[in-house]
Amino acid sequence: MIQPIEVQRDSYGYWTHPDYLAFCDGREYIPNDEFKGWMESQGLEWSVEYRDEEMSDPDVDGADLSNWNPESPAGDGWFVGSIHDTDDGAVCIWLRATCICLNSFDVVNKYYVSGCRDDGEATVTCEDREATFWTLYARDEEGLSQGIIDLAFREDAEAAMAVYVERDALKEQLLKLGVEKTMFSSGIGFFSYGSECGYEEHDTAEKAIEFAQAEIDDYQGNACDGWSDEVNSVVWGVVMQRATETNKRPVSEEDTHVAEHISFMCDFKLLPVIDTQATESVPRKIQAPGFPLEGE
């Protein structure tokens, strides 16, 4: 995807983004279908701003655009794709990404908003200045687009896109949480500890809790003269990391410090038993208002 870069206009006020320039490849005209296809493949939308020729003096300015400072369209994220002259006058091509990314959930290119108009026979996409409404689209895994909702204003369509993106992110997060719940409940590793009984491992959380509670009960049975301070040592939990063998290799001639009966060398490191990224970033909202999750 094209990324914004610093605009460095020449002495006549011209400038074109290198990626945009590479696509044009010196051509003065690009078919609309090809241009729209390229925009979609880049995950971009565009808006064209024309210089008000009444504000310029052809005899003085001519093809000089250095005194023209285009203003970006409404909304965030716009950056300059090109400032150049055409047969229809000076133009600035504004670009911006049509996607929103939330945290680790990547939805690049899935959703985008496009201006549309009805030409009498069908609905066609168009530039914002020609649009009579704006449509929120979604791409499937094959890159095919399908309209989701039509709205009278671009701002409303973009707000709807943000909600759909957030909904998808939450669905992904819920799936990850479900996987982690299954891992937690399937005996990945639980432990209990008390200074009297020591360290014990269990294959379910219920067993770890039962063992820890039994030790507390033992302390209670001997609490005629008061509770032992050691009762505070009783705990249970999930085994998150374990000393794990790493970097195993045969002993070489350079390993002169090891005993003769040693044939392999290795290290041990604390490594995660389970990955709990989803649990560590539990979403604050389980459902975006007005957009039910699948299956509801």
Q: What is the pLDDT of residues 56-107, one digit of tens each?
A: 665 555 578 888 899 888 877 899 999 988 877 888 999 988 754 333 334 4
Residue in the block written with tokens 């690049």: 108
- Say which residue, 293 or 51, is predicted with more confidence: 51
Question: What is the average pLDDT score of the chain?
Answer: 79
55 burial (CB, 10 Å; 0-12 / 13-18 / 19+) is exposed
pLDDT at 283 over 90: no
CA distance 79 to 15: 12
CA distance 84 to 90: 6
Q: How many CB atoms lie within 10 A of CB 193?
A: 18
pLDDT at 133: 94
CA 280 to chain centre: 17
Which among 109, 100, 110 has a CA at the least distance from the CA of 77? 100
CA distance 151 to 145: 17
pLDDT at 279 over 80: no
Output the pTM of the full model. 0.38
pLDDT at 1: 65
Both tokens of residue 170?
């939450």
pLDDT at 295: 43
pLDDT at 183 over 50: yes
Residue 40 one-letter amino acid: E
- Max Cα-Cα span within the chain: 106
Q: If you average pLDDT over residues 267-284, what whole number do you get?
A: 60
Any residues with CB less than 8 A from the CB of 207 and at least 6 apart, and which?
A: 190
Predicted confidence (pLDDT) per residue in 189-201, tens digit: 789 999 888 999 9
Q: How many helices (H) and strands (E) does the chain have?
A: 5, 13
Checking 25-32 for CB contacts under 8 A at 24+ apart, the result is none
* Residue 97 bridge partners (DSSP): 44
Q: Cβ distance 202 to 162 under 8 Å? A: no
Residue in the block written with tokens 């909702």: 149
Residue 281 one-letter amino acid: S
Predicted confidence (pLDDT) per residue in 127-164, tens digit: 888 899 999 988 876 667 788 999 999 999 989 988 98
Q: Which helix (H) or strand (E) holds 82?
A: strand 79-86
